[in-house]
Amino acid sequence: MAGHTDNEILVNAPMELVWEHTNDVAGWPELFTEYASAEILDRDGGSVTFRLTTHPDADGKVWSWVSRRVPDPATRTVRAHRLETGPFEYMNLRWEYHQEASGVLMRWVQDFAMKPTSPIPEAAMLDRLNRTTVEQMAHVKQVLERRARGGADHGPGDLHAQRLLYLTCGPRLAAVVTTLAELGIVDLVADEPRTAAELAETAQADPDALYRLLRCAASVGILAERPDGRFASTPLAEGMRADRPYSLLPLVLHSAQPYVTGPYSALTHSIRTGEPATVPALGSDIWRYFEEHPEAGARFDHTMTALGQWETDRHLDIVRPERFRRIADIGGGRGHFLAAALRRAPDASGVLFERPDVVAGADEVLVEQGVAGRVTKVAGDFFADPIPDGCDAYVLKAVLHNWPDERAERLLASVRRAIGDRDARLFVVEQVVSEGNRWDHAKFLDLDMLVLFGGRERRLDEWRGLFGRCGFELPGRPGEGHWTVLECRPTSVDAPRRAADDALPAAAPSGPARPATPAAPAVAGAPTRPEGPA
């Protein structure tokens, strides 16, 4: 029989402190109450072989054994096993460290088996290991949090302040990541580590300056500097490889563009006024900027196209388009999502509603996907023109977050009028912002909407309120923390709603309105509605 324990605890201290102090085996007697001594026997690179000796237990017995421990800083994991197994047939351990919003989640896993000759039954050992692990974790947490607060006795300065400094250096780190992307460094070290001089020759860079860049990148885990001076890739760097299907490379390059960095430099303006920062930073709203700078607009569309491909299959698994006979994609770009839906529903037809300049370019996509004969293209402005009726499914994919509530209500009310008395469905593909202090990328994307567009991401209660005011209900509870599908049902047309026909003027509240559905950039990392492959 084999035994298994799995315990975790949240330590309110910086990752570097938790990692460094829990992997300093020589200092374990000050960190754990059960160890009287820790003797380092051998070091080989990052791995360490050591002997632990315990304080006498309740029976006066002292335990001692030799273990080997191999930390991996790139993945924040540690593997260890006993070399002197004592009563165990084997004892293997794995430690994991996960960064959370309020600290480091530390997880310890132990897998073991007892020797047939062991005086301790497996069940008793399992109970003992679980009990002592919980006790030791609580003590380690207490010690590390005290050290983090004290700081000066265990490192240079207050380590929480160091973490704040790390966050403050965000623009510098973003510049490091962008430069690595522009030089193609991650692709150059993907197959084998290389020196700064080798990389500089290929990337046409100054060797000394490039080394300093690589050293900084390695300090935050983007690369790993080896003892021989070569730099290797890490799991963090893999996300920038150009040959990966879900590469963040387009987003990294996009996020450094002036139409993103400029408005974010005026974030305070948006916070004080509640308005986008594009006018003070760029001289116009974002859409007019793209019209006046077509290269920037093309880059934006390319990024949205690349990111928009990620989750189509998962979203269609929820939509299940095969249950509908006619599907309308409102603000559907060049038709990639609609085409994917119709491929799953060979007996269905579709309506693609978009602004004239976009829908005119949809033929290539629809023909390529083999659905052109089943799609009716309608050019229009969904704030001024009626939404096509006669459909039993309507899709708004990454549309509503571009707009404040009053504009979103106007659009939803128009869709509701198009549905009329039919038992149709509305599918809204959006983020649901999580509650509390939980990490959620939507909270960053929400600032993108504020600063660049004047829109917003919404919590579940905000979605329910928005739908309810427009004659829809949202059954069930959709997931949080990623792009999801909100399936809405029409309620009675007499249900209260604020977005009546003449409730609002057609013009946008700030600046000239884009004629139909724009895609909003995922500056912080998640895809929005693209005008390209979905």
Q: What residues are labeled active site?
A: 67, 69, 82, 401
Report the C-alpha gap between 9 and 108 in whole angstroms. Answer: 9
Q: Which two tokens stand for residue 389?
A: 């009726």
Query: For residue 477, what are the contacts with CB-CB under 8 A and spacing of at least 6?
Result: 460
Angle, alpha carbons 269-273-277 (nearest 5°): 40
Determine the straight-line distance between the first and last CA of the chain, rounded to whole angstroms: 50
Coil, strand or helix at 396: strand
What are the b/e assignments for 388-422, b being 16+ CB within 10 Å?
beebbbbbbbbbbbbbbbebbbbbbbbbbebbeee
State the sign of the Cα–Cα–Cα–Cα dihedral 474, 475, 478, 484. negative
Burial class (CB in 10 A: 0-12, 13-18, 19+), 155: middle
Residue 31: HSE in the Cβ half-sphere, 13 Å Cα cutoff: 20
CB 214, CB 225: distance < 8 Å? yes
Q: Which two tokens stand for residue 422?
A: 């039919």
Residue 212 neighbours by CB distance under 10 Å: 12
DSSP type of residue 347: T
Q: How many residues does the chain have?
A: 534
Best CA proximity match to 117, nearest among 89, 137, 140, 148: 89
